[in-house]
Structure 1
């Protein structure tokens, strides 16, 4: 039996259904279920779509779906981050300091970073995710080679920043979600960071249906529909999905609908009766919606692993993905 306890560090935890948080939640739940005591460190911010510099929860210890969760106050200084975002939007060259400000003053928590120091003992293993947010960088860089990383890398601008190289160098262990993610990392950082990347393992992501997942339930959405499950963002090509689906529905299947579940920018979903936005739903409701759909659609080109595609396959439902995404095309 594994004798150590696990601390999972995630920017958000509880009410947000992004891929990294789903991974953190599933990992924590299943480790606890299998007798490996696992707790979560997170911020008091509710989700990426709420203010990152406001505490929506009081700092303290919570029970989130049976998982002990410690919430810490967020970083309250945001102007340096906003300045970097303005530069990015205007296509300006970023300095090394800009890259640091992006992470230091994004979603972060000095209190969380300080608290981690008390858990750097032989009794604990600490794992932080994902690479894209500041709290992960702050924790790993504050305690070099003491905290492991699940990067969830995408082929995007931040992946190539010097801050990402520093993160890889300071991580204790690196766990990749897919072979494609690892190959991308070796190509960019193999020579500079060295063998530790090549020797890092692809752990993948465990996906399984709950014990009652096979119980038959009535379809919630009448008629024929496809489903998109995840964040509604332009970066996930949701705008293209809506545009292309509307053309498909007009030309071929007029009665077919596209159902959205998850948070994000609801303004991306057209005000047309072919589109149904259900927002955030429970796991049981999500699986029922997937099970009765014609297929799961994920046109994102930035993925390190697609949990919802796996869930769709377990439900006996096919998937439609972007040919420009090596990860999902090779799932």
Structure 2
């Protein structure tokens, strides 16, 4: 099977660590390790936090962890139109069909990339990720049934837009990351697309830490050195990922402030990129930004628990990483995917109010209790998200008729 050529198309690659980007990067690297001919087509934009209509990286070809990466200039037109429609979305207004098209068509895109894909990927398995960006819409439209989609769906207005219907209709294959994502697609589109969605394989996301965390934790000098380097508090919970309003960061901060105002002793540490201005400059909150991988995972392993209150997750890699570090998690009941992970594992607590949040923090502050819950999660990840299992599921989906 390794004679198959695979082309992934995604707006950002290698310089950004969002969930969809990590999913495609790790999958591409694992397929390459197994002998598959893999390439990634992406833009010269660094990340969602940069201007989508300006190039920041040079165009051309490079190798990133043995994967061929081709970067193409972004489309420079359409920024004003995009922001006009985005303002309507922020205001939670009804988005008419013509504005749905304007939003998608003027999102991040690259005409040169699309032309390259049309002319140089015959016979390839071509997969675009995620569904919300204009680049992926253009790919599916231009390749006319040759391209597949790894959508990363969650329940949001764009999921029900006409452009999403058109992408599903023209996609050769659909690759879902979770059963909950597939169930959502069946609920809204099952009657329309039938077998194309209902019989689609859920591939999952392979998860493994890049370091041997268990061995490192046996060396107390390593833990003590990192604890001292970052002046870590004795008790803390952790948030890992993009500091973004869309990730429900403001809710997280407010409920944590309430917890501390009611006598809670633990601090909240933030790891990762995004808007650092969202983190309060007051006692109890600490933003460490991006860290070396060893430092990152040792700090996670010392936390009382990881908190992810985002309601728009299609998989949530950070939950899996936390569980591999044997720490429990707190998630929001409004997110079906993360709530299902916790229900299936027993590795975390889902909450929907400030009172439930504070109760969860108190439970996980009992260190022995938290470790037991975290180990449940670790068993779940090892059993369901090994790379061998994911690659087998991916290939089964790729060869589906």
TM-score bin, normalised by smaller chain: over 0.9
Q: 2:311 aligns with which of 298, 301, 307?
A: 301
2:290 maps to which of 280, 283, 297: 280
User: Is 1:257 aligned to residue 284 of structure 2?
Assistant: no
- For residues 52-63 of structure 1, what are the structure 2 equivalents within 5 Å? 52-63=52-63
Q: CA deviation at 1:132?
A: 1.2
CA contact 2:7–2:121 (8 Å) conserved in 1: no
Task: Using structure 1 for the length normalisation, give the TM-score.
Answer: 0.94
Moved more, 168-177 or 30-39: 30-39
More helix by share: 2
Pairing of 1:14-53 with structure 2 (within 5 A): 14-53=14-53
Per-residue deviation at 1:280?
A: 2.7
User: Given the two structures, how large is their TM-score scaled by the length of structure 2?
Assistant: 0.78
1:126 positional shift: 1.2
SS in 1 for 2:289: coil
Q: What is residue 236 of structure 1 aligned with on the other side?
A: 247
Structure 1 partner of 2:12? 12
Name 2:176's counterpart in structure 1: 176
Is this contact kept in 1: 2:12–2:45, CA < 8 A? yes
Any gaps of 5 or more consecutive residues in structure 1? none
Which of residues 237, 241, 248 is equivalent to 1:226?
Answer: 237
Alignment of 1:182-201 (within 5 A): 182-201=182-201
Post-superposition Cα deviations, 1:39-83, rounded to whole Å, max 9, x if no partner, equal: 211110111111001100111112334432111100101122122
Per-residue deviation, 1:156: 0.5
Superposed displacement of residue 91, structure 1: 4.4
Once superposed, which parts of structure 1, at least 4 consecutive aligned residues long, lie more than 4 Å away? none
Q: Which has the larger radius of gyration?
A: 2
Paired with 1:203 and 1:90, the residues of 2 have a C-alpha distance of: 35
Q: In the TM superposition, what is the alpha-carbon distance from 1:141 to its structure 2 partner?
A: 1.2
Matches within 5 A, 1:98-247: 98-122=99-123, 124-210=124-210, 212-216=212-216, 217-218=222-223, 219-220=226-227, 221=230, 222=232, 223-247=234-258
The question of whether the paired residues in 1 share the 8 Å contact of 2:118 and 2:142 is answered with: no
CA RMSD of aligned residues (A): 1.6
Report the count of equivalent residues: 329
Segments of 5+ residues of structure 2 without an aligned counterpart are 217-221, 342-401
Measured at CA, do residues 316 and 251 of structure 1 come closer, stay the same or move farther in structure 2, by a change above 3 Å?
A: same
2-structure distance, mates of 1:4, 1:178 = 24
